[in-house]
Amino acid sequence: MSSLRIVGLIARKDLAIERRSKVAMHQVVPFAAITMVLFAFALDSSGGDSGSVIETVAVTDPPRVIRATDVLELVAPGLIWLAVLFSLLILVQRSFAVENDDGALDALRVAGVDPAAIFWGKAIALGLQLLALEIVLLAIALVLYRADLPPSGLGMLAITLITATGGLAFVGTLYGGLTAGFSGRESLLPLLVLPVVAPVLIGATRAVESAFGTDGVALSEGWPWIGLLTVFAVAFAVGGALAFGPLIDEST
* Cα gap 196→243, rounded to integer Å: 16
* Cα gap 200→74, rounded to integer Å: 19
Cβ–Cβ < 8 Å for 211, 152: no
Under the criterion CB under 8 A, does residue 104 sit at the interface with other proteins? yes
* Cα gap 174→179, rounded to integer Å: 9
Piece of 27-35, 53-61, 107-115, 227-235 that binds other proteins (CB under 8 A): 107-115
Cβ–Cβ < 8 Å for 117, 163: no
Piece of 16-24, 141-149, 179-187, 192-200 that binds other proteins (CB under 8 A): 16-24
Site string for other proteins, 21-50 (x = CB under 8 A): x-----------------------------
Under the criterion CB under 8 A, does residue 126 sit at the interface with other proteins? no
Piece of 9-17, 61-69, 125-133, 171-179 that binds other proteins (CB under 8 A): 9-17
Query: Site residues for other proteins, window 210-249 (CB under 8 A)?
Result: 245
- DSSP annotation of 28: I
Compute CA distances 44 → 1, 55, 68, 129, 142, whole Å. Answer: 55, 13, 6, 30, 15
Binding site for other proteins (CB under 8 A): 1, 5-6, 9, 13, 16-17, 20-21, 98, 101-104, 106-113, 245, 252
